[in-house]
Amino acid sequence: MSQIILASTSKYRRSLVSRLNLKFACVAPGTDEYALPDEAPTGTAIRLAESKACSIAKRYPEAVVIGADQVADLEGKPINKPVSHDRAVAQLLLQSGKLVKFHSAIAIAQMDSSGELRWKSCINTTDVHFKDLNESQIQAYLAAEKPYDCAGSFKVEGLGISLFEAVKTTDPTSLVGLPLIDLCKLLRHFKIDVI
């Protein structure tokens, strides 16, 4: 089996891929994560996932490289990781009572022995309907989980689930940042079966 590399240093993505019982290494892709002018959120997510996978695949010939990116959008406008408490409060107040779409893209790339780079990618969109939230609920949640490194200012795998009215998705792991059902499908194109 080819070496597998996750083009990420995210502890969340590492934890997700670990669930598949695959032996893999993590390598930081060094990709500048920004949206291009007038780029749709889905386009940004796919472009960044492909960029991460392809840049590492060029450095590790014959390795199967997994790249991932997630872009959240509220009414077509991207929502970034909040980084600070005040930004997280503002994000959650803005998302209160609204539908936010989380676009999770994955790409797998491999450079073969002849130097030809090939890749496949896909995107999975999860619809999150937020409850009507007041500031005291938001403050209590942020004090409990401090999700400042998470798009949308929540951790769905923890108490963040209590912020939602409903979630609609075809892959429950997509909201964490790497849709494992889609990953398993893409890995088969590179002759890797999880089971």
Tokens of 63: 């390795």
Tokens of 116: 């030809």
Evaluate whether residue 194 is within a structural domain: no
DSSP state of 124: E
What pLDDT does residue 36 have? 83
Evaluate whether residue 22 is within a structural domain: yes
Alpha carbon distances (Å) from 11 to 83, 138, 162, 193: 16, 24, 22, 23
Domain ranges, residue 26: 4-189
At position 164, the amino acid (one-letter code) is F
Evaluate whether residue 195 is within a structural domain: no
* CATH code: domain of residue 59: 3.90.950.10
* Residues marked as catalytic: 69
R_g (Cα) of the chain, nearest Å: 17
Pairwise CA distance, residues 184 & 190, whole Å = 10
Tokens of 48: 């960044």
- Parallel, antiparallel, or unpaired: how do β-strands 4-6 and 25-26 relate? parallel
What pLDDT does residue 33 have? 79
What pLDDT does residue 156 have? 92
Contact 53, 67 (CB under 8 A): yes
Q: How many domains does the chain have?
A: 1
* Backbone region of residue 146 per phi and psi (left: phi > 0; alpha: psi in -120 to 50; beta: other values): left
**pLDDT in single tens digits along all 195 residues of the chain:** 689 999 999 999 999 999 999 999 999 998 887 778 889 999 999 999 999 999 999 999 999 999 999 999 999 888 988 999 999 999 999 999 999 999 999 999 999 989 999 999 999 999 999 999 999 999 999 999 999 999 899 999 899 999 999 999 999 999 999 999 999 999 999 999 999
